[in-house]
Amino acid sequence: MKRNVVSLLLGTTASTLCLFSLPTLGAVEDVNFDVSTAAPGYSIEGIPHKTKTGLEFPLKLKKSQDNEGVNLYGKTIKDLLVNIDFETSDRIRVKIADKDQKQVPVPDSPLGLERPKLRKSAKKPNYEFKYTDDPFGFQVIRKNDKAIIFDTTNYPLVFEDQYLEITTAVPDNANIYGFGETTLPNFRRDNIKNVTTIFARDAGCPFYENVYGHHPFYMEIRDGKAHGALLLNAHGMDVLTVEGRITWKIIGGILEFYIFVPDDNKPNSVVHSYTDLVGKPMMISHWMLGWHQCRWGYRDIDHVESVIQGYKDHNIPLEVGWVDIDYMDTFQDFTFDPKSFPEDRMVKLGQELHANRQRFVVMVNAGKHYKTGYEAYERGHELDVFMKNPDGEEYVGQVWPGYTVYPDWFHPNASKYWNYHVGAWMERLSLDGVWIDMDEPAAFCLGSCGTGKKDVSPPSLEPWTLPQEVQDEMFAEEEAAIKKLETDYVQDSRQLLYPNYAINNGHGNLSTKTGSMIAYHYGDIPHYDLHSLYGHSECKLTRDALIEHNKTERPFILTRSSFSGSGRYAGHWTGDNASKWEYLKSSITEIFNVQMFGISYSGSDVCGFNDNTTEILCTRWQELGAFYPFARNHNAKQPISQEPFRWETTAEATRIALGIRYTLLPYYYTLFEESNRLGTGVWRPLIFEYPEIDDFLDNDDQVLVGTDVLLSPVVYENETSVDAEFPPGVWYSWYDLKPVDSSTDSVRTITLDAPLTHIPVHVRGGAILPLKSPTLLVDETYESPYSLLIALDERGEAQGRLYIDDGHSLEQSEISDITFTFKKGVLEVDGCFGYTKAEKLDTIKIVGVNHHLGDVTKASIAHFKETVDLTKNEDNVIVLENAGIDLTSSFVVHFE
């Protein structure tokens, strides 16, 4: 192997290729776990030259005996071009693409990912880049400890038109997090033998299979230090995380890696760097933090109104009423069922919710009914915005209305089409947001099953309910039709319907239950190349439409399908889970992943979507779900009703947990501002805050909300206690403010009592939490004065932060960003005080005073002449009440 050194780049040697032959998982018996050792690889041709941002050099396919290892699953591409860009101090891009640029990358646009426009390379990167030239391989090395964090040098590179393979070495038993979207019981990935398939898919959350989103991003924590990598590629892929390596097997596109190396080596900093690239999570409005209620299967508008009244009757907060597809006339978007959900009643419902200071959201699906006279179809047909068959006719699948067409979000007329329909719909119902579903896109048939069948009803709106022999016959007919289209019209030399490398897609055939791979987008780009971007691009255009409709309000969008960067446009729920204990537990893992992917406004269907819940399961789920960043009870039409007031224990647990959530609203809102600015998650695993503590590598039963609130929920059946791990330091119970028996310098596992209506919640010593007095509504809660909970650490100190704005405007003219510092008996409040209408700070409560403040009985507030008496609670808590301090300027409070 020859070595080369260019500028600051150092050469390296490579060892022999490694062949892995591991047993496969039961669900993935068709996946090839081996690396393609027979592939000839590539070598650098010529001399690499420097660019403004790094390096560029061509690769040439190495010769092989009798073409061994060539055309493994597609057509081998002989000439490649490599670009190395030292983009920032903590981000390097390695792009390996075909020289002729015939492969389809993720579009450089808001519908894909807008690449940063760079003028020069980073001056002091946190990484080094090394490469070998024959065969070509590369390493990325973290400078501060010389750890090789990405290393392809001992593995082959395969680059074909429909099969790309690349591998990086990782330590045995590596701590890998990410890769999704898939439903998993554990946050840390199984790297003994595991495959993650990444390909957007409509499926009811089966474990270990690909579902709605496409996120080829991961993080590794090694010896307490974190780094991450994104393969920016929208094509279907299998990612093999096995002992000692990660292997990507992709069915198209290019290899475009972004590797993230923050200087402080912290997991949260990796997420920060990742979202610097893909976009920061959207900023939410106050109301979005409230409790949401929905169901698919409300019988009529009376049923919806009775549920809303049920919350009020049982004194349970409800901020947002939702209606699923039930309201539609034969499931057509932008219509009303004239009998069960007449327009005047729906309009009135929205008005009544708003009069009660509540909100209103309904669903909009991706597919539009293929029907004469239906405005959403006719206008789209006129603007030519629907996806096409290879013969130029409109691609027609099937969803809830029957045969449906699908907007092509990449078409230049798509914005005009969508702005009109979304804006008119928002105006018609006075909606507060849009819920996007079925946007993978989902379909109930294979291929363009409705071609030539305008105004015709399919055999069944739910074909999976037909007899199996009928389903088989329909599938055979659809498969024959789609193959004929490919044979007669597809000019692409690739095998788009049945690529030779079959990723482990849960539905098998790539076109099953989604858009056909040989449907076409604007510019004659096959759906094969853009499939996993469909929901992402719809989110972008929906956000644009909402802002066009109302240029002052922050848009609310909830999406099922997502891609890297979707969090800047929308929130996400984890889809059609089930009312089972394993889904309660897995919701923690799923939300951790989604937060890590840059979608901080996210949650799971509380109490489960499919199947019947139970009183105990729903009670435990309401306790945890009350703290989801996006908190909504939602279920399907077949199961029993599961609103939290259906059982008194569930109602009581919900009142307690939501009381805590609403008390914490200023803290949550401050975390969302931090997420919008930095990219960090609102929910965090313990290992992200304490990466140096190996005990937390596998902890996915507990949740940190930000840095300061620790949840220890019951997620296992029949349990009434929790074995909770506490990080070093002091932690106080939320309920009685007593410290747990935890060590200040080591991790302790403590058994906490958790009777049915109780979720253990603890506050970190060293935190100052801004709080409100909870009511049933977010607006009313925010109208109450602020209070501070100062939880002292072992040194008698604490810090905190409060962000204030008007809570809803897209652009802010006034904000306050306030810091709180408590030390040596003095509270100093400083920062930016631009928000002039802030409520007063009324109460200050200090916890853990015994060994730090002595017999303090009074407090003096700077600029006030008189001292204020304090109340003392059980020797460990002091309270300053009726302070009446305006949060419009800096001040100091001395506790004497």
Catalytic residues: 437, 440, 576
Would you call 532 helix, strand, or coil by DSSP?
A: helix
Are the C-beta atoms of residues 725 and 702 closer than 8 Å to each other?
A: yes
Paired tokens of 101: 């640029």
Are the C-beta atoms of residues 358 and 326 closer than 8 Å to each other?
A: no
H helical segments located in 767-825: 778-783
Rounded to 10 degrees, what is the CA torsion of 790, 318, 781, 651?
A: -50
- Rounded CA-CA distance 338/330 in Å is 10
Are the C-beta atoms of residues 162 and 253 closer than 8 Å to each other?
A: no
Of the candidates 302, 866, 200, the residue with the CA atom closest to the CA atom of residue 560: 200
Of the candidates 225, 260, 239, 327, the residue with the CA atom closest to the CA atom of residue 91: 260
342: preceding bond cis by omega (within 30 degrees)? no
Of the candidates 235, 236, 201, 233, the residue with the CA atom closest to the CA atom of residue 217: 233
Q: In the beta sheet, which residues pair with residue 93?
A: 85, 258
Q: Which residues, 6 or more positions from 179, have their beta carbon under 8 angstroms from its beta carbon?
A: 189, 196, 198, 215, 216, 217, 218, 239, 241
- Rounded CA-CA distance 306/310 in Å is 6
Rounded to 10 degrees, what is the CA torsion of 347, 353, 358, 359?
A: -20
Are the C-beta atoms of residues 577 and 205 closer than 8 Å to each other?
A: yes
Q: In the beta sheet, which residues pair with residue 398?
A: 403
Q: In the beta sheet, which residues pair with residue 361?
A: 322, 433
Would you call 126 helix, strand, or coil by DSSP?
A: coil
Return the amino acid letter for 314: H
- Rounded CA-CA distance 219/684 in Å is 14
- Rounded CA-CA distance 580/327 in Å is 28
The packing angle between helices 615-625 and 648-663, to 10°, is 0
SS (H, E, C) 713-750: CCCCCCCCEEEEEECCCCEEECCCCCECCCCCCCCEEE
Residues in the chain: 896
| Element holding 539 (H helix, E strand) | helix 534-549
DSSP-derived letter for residue 210 is E
Backbone φ and ψ for 650, nearest 5 degrees, come out as -65, -40
